[in-house]
C-alpha cells in the first residue's frame, strides 16, 4: 500500500468520530520467515493460540483495509458497534445465554465452551500475549470482532477442536476473510495431519477444501448481529448462513475410528499402532 493510500485511510472517520486507521498504527509488514517460525512452534504446541495471531500479523492481506472500511463505515457497521461494542461480555454471560430457548445457537455455544473449558476472555488474553500494540481505531474493532467470533465458527460449522477440526475452521475463515495466514496454517496443517495419520484413507484434503468452499459461500459472520443470532435456533441460523453439514470432516472421523485412530490424539494413535506394524 502506498503512503497516499494509507494517508487516505487515516482521514476516514465513523459518525462517532472514530478514525478508520490510527496514524500511529505501524504499516503491516510482510514477514514470511517469522510466519514459518511461528507455524513450527504451533505444530509443537497447538494450544499456544498466541502463535496464530503472530502468523496472521506476519502475512498481512492486501485488501484488509478496504474490507475494514466496507464494514466499519457502513450503516451495518455502525449498528453493530452500538449494539455489540464488545462481544466477549455477551459471549461469556452464560447465565443470560442460557435463558434463550433450548436448541438455540446460544445453548450450543455454552455447551461447547463449558465442555472445552474455554471463554471469550481467554481468547482475548491469548491475543494480548502476541504483544501487538492497540489503537483506538476501527481497525482495532474489526480485528477484535474477527477474533471474538472464532469459537462461534466451531458451533455453526460442526467442526470440533481436534487437529482437523481446527484446520477446517481456519480454511472456512479464509473463505470468509482471506489472508495468507489462514492458508498457511490450513493447508500446511492438513499436510501435517496426513503425515501423522500416514497410510489412512481419510479424505483430509477433501475435508479442508469443503470447509474452504463453505466459508466462501456463507455471508461473513463478522457482519452479522451476533446477539440476535444467539437467540435463534441453531439449525435456522445454519440455513440462513448457508452452512451445510461437514460431510468430509465426519467421513475422516468415521474412517479414523474404523482404523483405530483417535481423531483427537493422532500422535498417540500412531505410536500405539506402529509397534504392531513392526511386529507383523
Residue 221 has pLDDT above 90, yes or no: yes
- Is it the case that residue 272 has pLDDT exceeding 80? no
* Residue-level pLDDT at 267: 64
Binning pLDDT at 50, 70 and 90, where does residue 276 land?
very low
User: pLDDT band for position 53 (50/70/90)?
Assistant: confident
C-alpha distance from residue 276 to each of 30, 104, 201, 272, 273 (Å): 46, 46, 19, 8, 6
Q: Global pTM?
A: 0.85
Q: How large is the average pLDDT for residues 185-189?
A: 86
Q: Which three cell numbers stand for residue 156?
A: 455453526
Q: What is the pLDDT of residue 136?
A: 96
Instruction: List the single range of 68-77, 148-157, 191-200, 265-274 with lowest mean pLDDT.
Output: 265-274
Looking at the chain, list the stretches that DSSP marks H as alpha helix, in order from N- to C-terminal side: 3-9, 32-44, 49-58, 64-72, 75-83, 87-91, 94-97, 105-116, 120-128, 138-148, 150-157, 163-176, 180-196, 204-217, 226-230, 234-240, 247-258, 266-279
Amino acid 1: pLDDT: 55
pLDDT of residue 67: 93
Residue 253 C-alpha from the chain's centroid: 21
Q: What is the mean predicted confidence (pLDDT) over 224-246? A: 98
| Beta bridge mates, 233 | 104
What radius of gyration do the chain's Cα atoms show? 20
What's the mean pLDDT in 225-238? 98
Going by the DSSP 8-state scheme, the letter that residue 219 receives in this structure is P
SS3 label, residue 178 = coil
Distance, CA of 134 to CA of 25 (rounded, Å): 8
Give the pLDDT band of residue 11 (cuts 50, 70, 90). Answer: very high
Amino acid at each position: 500500500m502506498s503512503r497516499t493510500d494509507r494517508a487516505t485511510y487515516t482521514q476516514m472517520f465513523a459518525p462517532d468520530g472514530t478514525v478508520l486507521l490510527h496514524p500511529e498504527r505501524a504499516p503491516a509488514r510482510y514477514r514470511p520467515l517469522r510466519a514459518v517460525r511461528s507455524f513450527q512452534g504451533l505444530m509443537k504446541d497447538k494450544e499456544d493460540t498466541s502463535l496464530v495471531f503472530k502468523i496472521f500479523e506476519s502475512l498481512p492481506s492486501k485488501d484488509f483495509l478496504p474490507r475494514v472500511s466496507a464494514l466499519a463505515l457502513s450503516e451495518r457497521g455502525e449498528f453493530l458497534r452500538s449494539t455489540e461494542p464488545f462481544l466477549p461480555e455477551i459471549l461469556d454471560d452464560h447465565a443470560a445465554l442460557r435463558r434463550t430457548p433450548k436448541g438455540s445457537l446460544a445453548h450450543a455455544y455454552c455447551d461447547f465452551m463449558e465442555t472445552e473449558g474455554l471463554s471469550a476472555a481467554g481468547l482475548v488474553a491469548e491475543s494480548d500475549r502476541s504483544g501487538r500494540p492497540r489503537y483506538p481505531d476501527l481497525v482495532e474493532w474489526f480485528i477484535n470482532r474477527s477474533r471474538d467470533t472464532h469459537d462461534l465458527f466451531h458451533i455453526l460449522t460442526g467442526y470440533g477442536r481436534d487437529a482437523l477440526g481446527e484446520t477446517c475452521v481456519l480454511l472456512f475463515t479464509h473463505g470468509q476473510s482471506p489472508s495468507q495466514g489462514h492458508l498457511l496454517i490450513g493447508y500446511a496443517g492438513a499436510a501435517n495431519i496426513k503425515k501423522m495419520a500416514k497410510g489412512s484413507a481419510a479424505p483430509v484434503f477433501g475435508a479442508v477444501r469443503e470447509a474452504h468452499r463453505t466459508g466462501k459461500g456463507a455471508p461473513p459472520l463478522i457482519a452479522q448481529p451476533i446477539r440476535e443470532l444467539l437467540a435463534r435456533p441453531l439449525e435456522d441460523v445454519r440455513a440462513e448462513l448457508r452452512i451445510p453439514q461437514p460431510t468430509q470432516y465426519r467421513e475422516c472421523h468415521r474412517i479414523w475410528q474404523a482404523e483405530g485412530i483417535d481423531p483427537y490424539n493422532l500422535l498417540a494413535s500412531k505410536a500405539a499402532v506402529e509397534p504392531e506394524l513392526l511386529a507383523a
